[in-house]
Amino acid sequence: MTNGHRVDKRSDGTEFRHYGDELDEIVARDVKFLHFEQMGESQFWMSIELANGEQWAINFGAENEKAKGYSFAELEYIHGELAP
């Protein structure tokens, strides 16, 4: 890929998208369970269990712990149809 973009795609469809040496995105399919939690003002935690039994724990937040973080969720699709 150009500009340092690289996608490592596994046989189960999970994609690890890199920009240069940094992991930029994880795209998971066949997700059995997802748990997202705000741990502090600028700290978040997420646990994902894939259908194949793999469990991932992801921690993320701001470098400056005094900076306020935010999170929100939006329902985009229901059974493949755009949500009202």
CA distance 66 to 52: 38
pTM, full prediction: 0.58
- Domain borders along the chain are 5-63
26-82 pLDDT per residue, tens: 888 888 988 988 888 788 888 888 888 888 888 888 877 777 766 666 767 777 788
CA distance 59 to 71: 14
CA distance 25 to 77: 21
